[in-house]
């Protein structure tokens, strides 16, 4: 393992007398060569069609100046941003007021649930009622963070499972209100695997050791994912958007099976574009087959990173760089999706799940 992870690259300069004059040691973390491959293609800085970003986090939206966000959005052709970090109660009201006062058709906010008091009498009904109030005050959906299943505990200090039946009133209320639930459960499977030479997320785990997990920290990956799927199946009248393609973007065959099993499940592509960009033919086939169930989402708000998403989805370019080496040390390839599929991924599928979106922002078909 040591030889692989801390390999030495020797750069040798041969003098006129044929002797070695210099050498250099370089760790795996620093090795990031510039490709010498010359192929057609160029960066795409603006999406071909207006798009809805269903996975964004803005934590100051209650008071921030939204014009700065609008500037970035207009440059990349983002029609609507969905802020998943709305909180609840007064914060939802403040965010909605800020949006309505300045850009009423460009932002959408999702509410969040506080799970701290799960286990107290009547918690589920109380939480469902608060969600109903939040929706009445402008929330268009519910976002569930990965802390459910990983960190959240009930009042007895026990890990709160994603499919805990005490949470059922929440999911049922979302179905009743016809609002989607965008849920992030667990993390990439590799975070649970041994941190050795076979783990392709080794560099990420080395530089961000807090992401490493084990079967007891706090539960096996398979268990958390199974909890999520059981919950989806138990609430067929509720629509779920599985963030990060449910961590199956590296196994699209399995993801297809899950989509067939759970017709109420959609998937977002936030933070997994590197998985799609390394399997362009397989990923394109998947997008063609499940074009009605895939939504655009970026996750972290870094405007400079959006062009990689556009290029993977829209172009037929080959071997272009990903923006974070610790996420992916491999190159990207374009899927070259047809226009009708691009429109669904960029905005049509989102309009189906969030009917309040302003149709005037999007092309007439």
Which CATH number do you get for residue 346?
3.20.20.140
Cα–Cα nearest to 283, from 260, 252, 258: 252
The reply to whether 220 and 312 lie within a common domain is yes
Q: What is the pLDDT of residue 23?
A: 54
Q: What is the pLDDT of residue 26?
A: 81
What total number of domains does the chain contain?
2
Mode of pairing for the β-strands spanning 294-295 and 181-183: unpaired
The reply to whether 52 and 103 lie within a common domain is yes
Structural domain contains residue 235: yes
Q: How many of the other CB atoms lie within 10 Å of CB of 200?
A: 14
Structural domain contains residue 312: yes
The reply to whether 217 and 295 lie within a common domain is yes
Q: What is the pLDDT of residue 282?
A: 98
Q: What is the pLDDT of residue 30?
A: 81
Q: What is the pLDDT of residue 165?
A: 98
Q: How far is it, in rounded angstroms, from Cα 75 to Cα 77?
A: 6
Cα–Cα nearest to 41, from 313, 320, 337, 249: 320
Structural domain contains residue 309: yes
Could you give the 3-state DSSP secondary structure of residue 120?
strand
- Residues across the chain: 365
Q: What is the rounded end-to-end Cα distance, in angstroms, of the chain?
A: 56
The reply to whether 98 and 124 lie within a common domain is yes
The reply to whether 12 and 159 lie within a common domain is no
Structural domain contains residue 364: no
Q: What is the pLDDT of residue 15?
A: 39
The reply to whether 21 and 140 lie within a common domain is no
State which residues of the chain have pLDDT below 70.
1-23
Q: What is the pLDDT of residue 350?
A: 98
The reply to whether 230 and 281 lie within a common domain is yes
Contact yes or no for 296/271 (Cβ under 8 A)? no
Residue 292, φ and ψ in degrees, nearest 5: -85, 0
In Å, what is the CA distance from 244 to each residue of 90, 235, 356?
Answer: 29, 21, 24
Could you give the 3-state DSSP secondary structure of residue 182?
strand
Structural domain contains residue 152: yes
Structure tokens at 216: 């007891």
Structural domain contains residue 365: no
The reply to whether 8 and 83 lie within a common domain is no
Q: What is the pLDDT of residue 353?
A: 98
In Å, what is the CA distance from 46 to each residue of 64, 269, 332?
Answer: 25, 18, 18
* Burial state string for 267-277 with b = 16 or more CB within 10 A and e = fewer than 16: bbbbbbbbbbb
The reply to whether 159 and 308 lie within a common domain is yes
Cα–Cα nearest to 69, from 302, 299, 350: 302
Structural domain contains residue 36: no
Q: How far is it, in rounded angstroms, from Cα 362 to Cα 79?
A: 8
The reply to whether 172 and 57 lie within a common domain is yes
Q: How far is it, in rounded angstroms, from Cα 137 to Cα 189?
A: 37
> Could you tell me the residue range of the domain that residue 17 belongs to?
1-31
The reply to whether 184 and 320 lie within a common domain is yes
Long-range contacts of 133-136 (CB under 8 A, 24+ apart): 133/89, 134/86, 134/88, 134/89, 134/92, 135/111, 135/177, 135/179
Q: What is the pLDDT of residue 29?
A: 78
The reply to whether 5 and 94 lie within a common domain is no
Q: What is the pLDDT of residue 349?
A: 98
Structural domain contains residue 41: no
* For helices 252-261 and 280-289, angle between their N-to-C axes, nearest 10 degrees: 10
Q: What is the pLDDT of residue 27?
A: 79
For residue range 134-170, what is the model confidence (pLDDT) as tens digits? 999 999 999 999 999 999 999 999 999 999 999 999 9
């Amino acid at each position: 393992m040591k030889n692989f992870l801390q390999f030495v690259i020797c750069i040798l300069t041969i003098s006129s007398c044929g002797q070695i004059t210099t050498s250099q040691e370089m760790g795996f973390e620093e090795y990031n060569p510039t490709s010498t491959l010359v192929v057609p293609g160029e960066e795409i800085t603006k999406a071909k069609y207006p798009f809805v970003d269903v996975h964004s986090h803005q934590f100051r939206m209650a008071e921030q100046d939204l014009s700065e966000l609008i500037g970035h959005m207009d440059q990349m052709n983002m029609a609507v941003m969905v802020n998943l970090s709305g909180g609840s109660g007064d914060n939802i009201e403040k965010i909605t007021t800020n949006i309505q006062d300045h850009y009423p058709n460009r932002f959408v906010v999702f509410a969040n649930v506080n799970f701290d008091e799960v286990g107290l009498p009547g918690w589920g009904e109380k939480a469902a009622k608060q969600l109903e109030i939040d929706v009445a005050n402008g929330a268009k959906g519910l976002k569930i963070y990965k802390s459910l299943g990983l960190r959240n505990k009930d009042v007895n200090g026990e890990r709160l499972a994603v499919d805990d039946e005490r949470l059922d009133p929440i999911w049922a209320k979302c179905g009743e209100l016809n609002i989607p639930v965008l849920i992030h459960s667990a993390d990439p499977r590799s975070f649970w695997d041994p941190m050795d030479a076979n783990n392709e997320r080794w560099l990420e785990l080395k530089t961000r050791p807090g992401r490493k997990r084990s079967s007891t920290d706090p539960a096996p990956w398979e268990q958390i994912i199974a909890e999520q799927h059981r919950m989806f199946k138990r609430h067929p009248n509720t629509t779920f958007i599985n963030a990060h393609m449910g961590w199956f973007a590296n196994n699209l065959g399995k993801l297809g099976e899950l989509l067939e099993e759970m017709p109420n499940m959609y998937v977002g592509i936030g933070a997994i574009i590197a998985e799609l960009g390394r399997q362009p033919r397989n990923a394109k086939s998947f997008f063609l087959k499940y074009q009605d169930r895939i939504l655009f989402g970026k996750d972290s708000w870094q405007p400079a990173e959006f062009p990689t998403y556009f290029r993977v989805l829209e172009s037929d370019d080959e071997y272009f760089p990903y923006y974070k080496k610790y996420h992916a040390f491999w190159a990207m390839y374009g899927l070259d999706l047809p226009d009708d599929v691009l429109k669904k991924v960029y905005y049509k599928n989102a309009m189906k799940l969030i009917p309040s979106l302003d149709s005037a922002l999007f092309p007439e078909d």
